[in-house]
Amino acid sequence: MNSVTLDLHPETFHSPPTSVLGFSSEHNIYDLPVPSDGEPSKQITDVSEFIEEAGDSIDNDSESSPLLLSVGADTAAAHVTIIPRPTDVDGTTKPGVASKNFTDSSQLTQLGDGSQELQYDQNTMVLQYPQQLLQQQHSLTPLSVIGSTSINGLTAESNIVLVPATQGPLASCPTIQLTEEDVQQIQKQLQQRLLGQPITAATTMPIVATSHPYVYFNAFSPSVQTPQFIVPAPAQGYTTPSAITIPALHPITTVSTPPVTTQTQYQTTLNKPTSILTKAPTPATPNKPAIQYIKLHPGIDESMVDLDELQRFAKFFKQKRVEMGFTQGDVGMALGKCYPNDFSQTTISRFEACNLSPQNMRKLKPLLQRWIDNQSHISLISSTFCSPTPPEASTSDSKRRKKRTTIEDNIKDALEVYFQSNPKPNTSELSKLAVEHNIEREVVRVWFCNRRQREKRLPKMIPMQSVQGAMFHPTTSNEVSLAKANGCNEQTINGGPKKFFSYCDKFQQ
């Protein structure tokens, strides 16, 4: 079997905890090159090696090869085995899309249900298209895979996307042809990112993809519409005829931002996934569906990636905001100028601290991202951008807001205890509590509403050491599980929740 094996074992493949492109926790590999000389599998343990590998096989025009996927079982390793795709009578490869998520080989097995015409071979641990299918003129569908492994409750993921180089989502992407220098530059970047970055909470990798005869460098995110990428800044003239418009406002300047000392580089453009490079435009297939992610375990793996990304972005955002000298309030108001709605300092603060529901975070992220993009751009053009304008003093007299009541600490503690056993007291229970503590029933009700809401906030990132041996339950109480993870007993903490949060906040950045 002609194959190339890409070994992404965490032990050998150290990748930075933050994404180069803002798309973290994933590496996407498009159309790995396949040597056509019948060479046996190769193990590649390093990106640079990988690229060399790719280079080696550049002249092999194994245009069409079936895709086989195998995944290491007990590690976060991802083995990608590729054998030549079948060629149709007319010599072309059919497009199509399929995708699978799995977290280990056991789940891989589940993929063998044929639901997506894929079969899993228990012995070889290979996921593949049935033989007949390969021979049919049927579309050979690209594979997208997310593999993840939990370590101490935190997840290391790898996301592998295999699509025919000239089809699928890439087909409609702007293309740029890489030069020798480009490749070297990429290599350099990758190597830098590989330096001494241990696998921690989330294994993330720069996006590497190669294909003969050119190298693909692509970022693809299943859930986000914002493509991001690094690659040697495309010199003018690199722009390609394409349906995709890269907003002129945002020249893709890779390293033009002032010396940011983070590994995180959010490079943003808008809209669709953007392939940086592909080989000469190929006859685009009319049928080019978007990659779909089929969730085997909805709400866990993928959302972990998602949450991780949100947190990372929040941090990035804050850093950027501060760098540019804006206050949270400024940003909130500024947003009002670009979008129908503006936001309060509170909201921005909560966003940065991830004190919002994941859903809310997701909603806000693109707005803030665009704002950052714009500001970056403006500051590049002229350093004299206008300072934010203060809000108009509105003299409207709406119903005056109820004055904020202060619930005594001991009562709050009691409510907290109650909440642990019954987070959703009914009317009578509410009344009972109100009487018991001699406060308005409405106040109690609102307290529980807010308490429940707090429960749904994004979990915070915690360093590995703190959670060693502790389980993390993403679907259960964030606070409680975090408390336990940190050896806290919520109910015994002096001062109740307030203190508890302070404790957790120590891990925030």
Chain residues binding DNA by CB under 7 A are 328, 332, 341-347, 349-350, 352-353, 355-357, 359-360, 363-364, 398-399, 401-407, 412, 424-427, 430, 442-443, 445-450, 452-454, 456, 497-498, 501-502, 505
A 10 A CB-CB count for 419 gives 18
Contact 236, 273 (CB under 8 A): no
Classify residue 475 by its DSSP letter.
T
Report, in Å, the least distance between residue 420 CB and DNA: 15
Report, in Å, the least distance between residue 350 CB and DNA: 5
Q: Which residues pair with 180 in a beta bridge?
A: none
Distance CA(189)–CA(212), nearest Å, equals: 20
Buried b (16+ CB within 10 A) or exposed e, 351-372: bbbbbbbbebbbebbebbbbbb
DSSP SS3 for 405: coil
Q: Which residue lies nearer to DNA by CB, 383 or 475?
A: 475
Q: Which residues pair with 427 in a beta bridge?
A: none
Report, in Å, the least distance between residue 408 CB and DNA: 8
Contact 353, 508 (CB under 8 A): yes
Report, in Å, the least distance between residue 362 CB and DNA: 8
Phi, psi of 430 (to 5 degrees): -60, -45
Q: Which residue lies nearer to DNA by CB, 337 or 363?
A: 363
Report, in Å, the least distance between residue 137 CB and DNA: 45
Q: Any residues with CB less than 8 A from the CB of 386 and at least 6 apart, and which?
A: none
Contact 15, 148 (CB under 8 A): no
Q: Which residue lies nearer to DNA by CB, 100 or 365?
A: 365
Q: Which residue lies nearer to DNA by CB, 383 or 426?
A: 426
Copy the structure tokens of residue 268. Answer: 């943003």
Report, in Å, the least distance between residue 491 CB and DNA: 16
Please work out, in degrees rounded to the nearest 5, the angle formed at the alpha carbon of residue 498 by the alpha carbons of 492 and 503. Answer: 75
Q: Which residue lies nearer to DNA by CB, 40 or 299?
A: 299
Report, in Å, the least distance between residue 461 CB and DNA: 15
Q: Which residue lies nearer to DNA by CB, 61 or 408?
A: 408
Q: List Cα–Cα distances, 328 to 145, 179, 374, in angstroms.
A: 38, 43, 16
Q: Which residue lies nearer to DNA by CB, 362 or 484?
A: 362
Report, in Å, the least distance between residue 369 CB and DNA: 15
Residue type, position 464, single letter? M
Q: Which residue lies nearer to DNA by CB, 157 or 309?
A: 309
Q: Which residue lies nearer to DNA by CB, 85 or 350?
A: 350
Report, in Å, the least distance between residue 463 CB and DNA: 18
Copy the structure tokens of residue 50. Answer: 């990988």
Distance CA(455)–CA(418), nearest Å, equals: 14
Please work out, in degrees rounded to the nearest 5, the angle formed at the alpha carbon of residue 303 by the alpha carbons of 150 and 148. Answer: 30
Contact 97, 131 (CB under 8 A): no
